[in-house]
Structure 1
């Protein structure tokens, strides 16, 4: 019999054709409201966002701070750092350049504060610059040093004939050259069905039995197989019914990474709308003339007819 499990953390309540809870990159797709935010949230946000967004954030904040201080220097009198040009835009630009030299502690010497107020503001801005760049340096170190699982999953689930029955399969690949030690995978199935009593929809969760849920190491690619035998909750569905089923697979992969010398985790999910029938995965690796194993990353998602 299929092993029905308790809610793994997603909630029993659901909605017809609800969106995926797990994004393609393994992050949560849950929308938070009425949440109080703090500096720790900003740090986590800046650690997780893509590199281009991180550098864009740094550039925009840096530019905004210099614009603010440029306005301040002009309000107290641009003459306290450099003679006025008589043009407001040129004076703002001079204030901006002086602000950039101060906040970065470059100090070319072409422009220097003369009055007491300008020196006080410049001293305060230099302190902001030191603290700000220390914060950015910490973020850069955190982004580079944070261990991330480099795992790629096939785009689709497939269902095909397997032994005396059928099986649902997907593939995952080690996209780095370092070895994954003792990778272990857990697959939880969520099926959303109408709840006639509450006139809503409810999730039922099942832990799927896999052909193999743990191997010694993974240098190439691993095909995860769940056989649709009499013990499977999915065996009663035809291929066409499986494709129409409001269901989702949640995958948790954990392994020891030799490069980081610690255990890493990767989360992924598949909606059954991603299911392909009567196909099979093409071989993903081959051998060259010298006997070396060649892993072709482009073949992770490639499918062929089951009979070919």
Structure 2
């Protein structure tokens, strides 16, 4: 019975994995035992909607308590749930316009409890909103596609990223993993993760763009890309970046996944950074994902030499 219950609980994993999707069975999307995680991980529209529903529900509950005992509120219409609700709103927010007020010991007791509840809820809501606003977010841009350059002495896989912040990032580090289909001793299929060795996996100063290179040597799990005419359809690549943002005084991270359809052979990235020959470099982030055939790039270089 327990296994059947777990099989029905399916949750999509939240990650920027492109066309690849991950699903977990046996867990819940929102765990009532951990409301804090749910509050900080949901989207802003969902978060604001939940706050509004909780606010209305609490005030409606206290309005029912006021209306349950006639005469508990002074200057309220007898049996009016609307008057009781708006008095609850004023008490919950500690506004107190003074038109209606508690008229009995019961009314004072309920008002005291609601005032205390309102103070707690205000503190909790303020804290949650602050946490959501203060969370450091990475603004690392990933090129839409990866390219395999095979025109040089050694074929390489190129991965280009950009810093979307106006300030430079410090101590950036990168890791690339290839997911390839495999089978265990019993013939069960699974995806094996292979670390891709990058020629440079760290960047002390990351102000503009960074093109990472993975040589397609014989010992590389992607060595086949050096000579095939088509990228294997079941290939998946995951790239993760972490860096220190001095403006936030915090470490930020980002992750992106690429499917086989996002890997182009015999291509190169269009130059996105222009240097004026002195001390000024200009990065055009609009060209971060721009690619061109290696043959066209070679022709342009020849024309420049002429």
Tell me if both proteins adopt one fold, taking TM over 0.5 as the criterion: yes
Cα contact 1:22–1:268 (8 A) shared by 2:
no
Distance 1:162 1:131 in 2: 66
Cα deviation digits, residues 255-288 of structure 1 (max 9, x gap): 2221233433333332334323333333334479
1:223 is aligned to 211
* Cα distance, 1:217 vs structure 2: 0.7
Distance 1:305 1:217, change over 3 A: same
Look up the SS of the partner of 2:202 in the other structure: coil
* Cα distance, 1:25 vs structure 2: 8.2
**Paired residues, what number?**
281
2:199 is aligned to 211
Distance 1:21 1:199, change over 3 A: farther
Distance 1:273 1:78 in 2: 71
Distance 1:76 1:218, change over 3 A: same
Cα deviation digits, residues 98-131 of structure 1 (max 9, x gap): 1111111111112212122222112111111111
Cα deviation digits, residues 162-186 of structure 1 (max 9, x gap): 5224322222111112221121112
1:23 is aligned to 15
1:283 is aligned to 271
The normalised TM-score by structure 2 is: 0.79
1:193 is aligned to 2:185: no
**Aligned structure 1 segments of 4 or more residues deviating by more than 6 angstroms:** none
1:253 is aligned to 241
Distance 1:216 1:23, change over 3 A: same
Alignment counterpart, residue 148 of structure 2, candidates 153, 156, 159: 159
1:122 is aligned to 2:122: no
* Cα distance, 1:82 vs structure 2: 3.6
1:150 is aligned to 139
Q: Which moved more, 1:63-72 or 1:279-288?
A: 279-288
Distance 1:166 1:78 in 2: 85
1:69 is aligned to 62
Unaligned residue ranges in structure 1 (runs of 5+): 1-19
Cα contact 1:162–1:227 (8 A) shared by 2:
no
Unaligned residue ranges in structure 2 (runs of 5+): 1-11, 297-306
Distance 1:300 1:51, change over 3 A: farther
